[in-house]
Chains A and B, each alone.
Chain A
Amino acid sequence: MKKVMGLTAALGVVMFIMAGCNSGSEKEEAKTETATTTEATAPEQAAPALNDAQIASIAVTANQIDVDYGKIALEKSQNPEIRKFAETMIKDHSDIINQATALATKLNVTPEDNSTTQDLLKGQKDMNEKFAGLTGDAFDKAYAQNEAAYHDAVVNAVKTVLIPNTQNAELKSLIESVVPLLDHHLQMAKDLAAKFQ
């Protein structure tokens, strides 16, 4: 009996040490990186400020719209590059929505409808109508061009409106961390659109 206890204790020590060294190596290089400056805040602050609930609504809607565009592309396009790009948009923007809704739930923030959200939805409706009338290369070209224009507009809005207005530090940090991803999407979309000139 004593022997069993001795071995159990020894095993416990071993596991403790192993757990210790795992977490050590994972934390080691996790530097905090703060993104982007907020120099362009002055003009926007004159406009009616958005609260965090409205910002959450805008963030989720903006991402959902690009997921929806991606789904239309998968329905309509046979072009492998367009399809791969659309799949990446669906996956990435769905991941962001998941993170944003999880954080909003944790922070007890209920996304609140507002005029910016409505403008985004209106833009989506117009674009969907345009897409509906296009097939083949014409659709692929319109989709790629819209992805470039849409990401350009969203990156701009995130930097100049959403980030400067966000009050909660965790929400601000999440939105800031989306910027490099949007920049990457924008570059990919521009490269894709250039192939359809």
Chain B
Amino acid sequence: MAQVQQRPEEATSDQQLIERVARQDRQAFEQLYDRYAAAVFGLALRTLGDRQIAEEAVQEIFWRVWQRAASFDRSRTFAPWLFGIAHNYCIDELRRRRARPQPVYEDDDHPVLSSIADTTDVSERALQGEQQRIVADALQQLPNEQRQAIELAYFGGLTQQEIATRLGNPLGTIKTRMRLGLQKLRGILQDQGLVD
């Protein structure tokens, strides 16, 4: 079983840092921010599609990290917890703004966002590069329709019903694709030691 490469021993772990943040340690907070701000900004930009709104998202997400650090469950890992907060915020924001005329996807097969990848900061990518590669590879292993259903929900904030309408498929088909796709993804990430 291939395990993800851990950070060098001398680096303070995310776990240690978030525990210090729970005790109102601002320096620990800054370290976590420096580690994850690029990942969160990338996620916000991909989901929200607008730099300014994504900047506001980063601020609000990390503010929530500061406020909720005390409720962080030590038996879990930090990154999924952070991304959970980030994703919830972005989807809520997306749905709130949906009435406005800015399309998130111009074409369901080609998320607007893939174009943003050109501006990726290479040094930041290196930090979480290993995990990013594994998750991206895992997603690529899914059949196209399954991946599409998952991406439309995760990055597009669409419900199963909305996806079905959009793609012109029966609702049951979308439910099945989402289910099978996520189960397969979970299996791959478990094999890689990224998920329990």
A and B together in one complex = no
A contact residues vs B (CB 8 Å cutoff): none
B contact residues vs A (CB 8 Å cutoff): none
